[in-house]
Amino acid sequence: MTELNMYMSRVDLKSLGAFLISDLEDISFIPDEFKHLVGDMILPSTSTVLDTKYDPKTDKLVCQGIARTLWDINPKMTLKDMTNHKAIQVYGNGCQYKDPKTLPGWLSEVDPRPEDQRRGPKKKTENDEVVD
């Protein structure tokens, strides 16, 4: 068995960073001390989402939970503000969804604001007539 010589050993931080990223698949698990030690040259920014598997059903529920919390804190937030919020994009995995209707559709289901305060086209009712 080979003994590790603490004085003559060294670690390539770039390789260690790459290993951590590929092993953990989520940069949020990497300690801040390590991020500070190696700097931005190795690790992607916290706004970068790594190639991970995602589940739309789970992501929808997580995004809706985050949105409910953010609307409790700031009830005047618009749907657009909510969709672009870092918590939705990063922690809710919202940046994985490229269709511009996906996140607004999910979040509009839990939007607590009255209908008249929401933007967008008004919903038609059976009594509405189309006038040319």
Q: What is the dihedral of CA 93, 94, 95, 99, to 10 degrees?
A: 140
pLDDT value for 101: 94
**Which pLDDT value is given to residue 117?**
78
Query: What are the angstrom distances between the C-alpha of 55 and each of 14, 59, 60, 96, 97?
Result: 30, 6, 9, 10, 11
List of the chain residues with pLDDT < 50: 41-51, 132
Is 6 contained in some domain?
Answer: no
What total of structural domains would you count in the chain? Answer: 2
User: Does residue 96 lie within any of the structural domains?
Assistant: yes
pTM for this one? Answer: 0.53
> Residue 45: its pLDDT value, please?
47
Pair (112, 72) in one structural domain: yes
Does any domain span residue 2?
A: no
pLDDT at 30: 66
Copy the structure tokens of residue 87.
Answer: 């918590």
- Same domain assignment for residues 29 and 63: no
Q: What is the residue range of 20's domain?
A: 11-50
* 61 and 106 within one domain: yes
Cα–chain center distance at 70: 14
